């Protein structure tokens, strides 16, 4: 069964796969930008920048308002919060696994009477 939240998350993660789009989001975190301002740091046309913005819009990460001939974009952080929530589950999963491994290694070192020092082979 597919969770109803997975489709929006799919779009968020797909949008975040591109380094240009990630850089655009970082820029938007500082405030609103028009398409030209988003394109400026890159060697790309306004049309190419607009295509990146459309991907970010479909993922719900960016809202665009048209003011005359200017397209002003702003970050919508809600989808990032949902992605972060999803990732935090796995952060806890790995933290628990690493704590268990640490406890196992300490128990092994205690049983052998030789504490293991980091950076030295066993």
Question: What's the pLDDT tens digit per position in 59-90?
Answer: 999 999 999 999 999 999 999 998 998 888 88
Confidence (pLDDT) at 1: 39
- Domain annotation covers residue 23: yes
- Domain annotation covers residue 116: no
The domain of 44 spans 6-77
Alpha helices (runs of H) in 1-122, residue ranges in sequence order: 6-15, 19-29, 35-39, 46-58, 78-112
- Domain annotation covers residue 88: no
User: Which of 5-14, 18-27, 92-101, 108-117 has the lowest average pLDDT?
Assistant: 108-117
- Domain annotation covers residue 52: yes
Say if residues 70 and 34 touch (Cβ distance below 8 Å): yes
pTM attached to this predicted model: 0.71
- Domain annotation covers residue 108: no
- Between CA 25 and CA 115 the distance in angstroms is 47
Maximum Cα–Cα distance across the chain: 76
């Amino acid at each position: 069964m597919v969770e109803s939240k997975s489709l929006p998350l799919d779009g968020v993660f797909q949008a975040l796969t591109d380094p240009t789009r990630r850089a655009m989001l970082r820029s938007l975190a500082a405030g609103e930008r028009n398409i030209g301002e988003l394109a400026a740091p890159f060697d790309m046309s306004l049309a190419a920048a607009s295509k990146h913005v459309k991907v970010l819009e479909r993922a719900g990460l960016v809202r665009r308002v048209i003011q005359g001939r200017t397209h002003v974009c702003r970050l919508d952080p809600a989808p990032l919060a949902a992605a972060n929530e999803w990732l935090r589950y796995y952060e806890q999963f790995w933290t628990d696994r690493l704590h268990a491994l640490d406890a196992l290694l300490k128990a092994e070192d205690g049983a052998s009477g030789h504490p293991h020092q980091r950076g030295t082979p066993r």
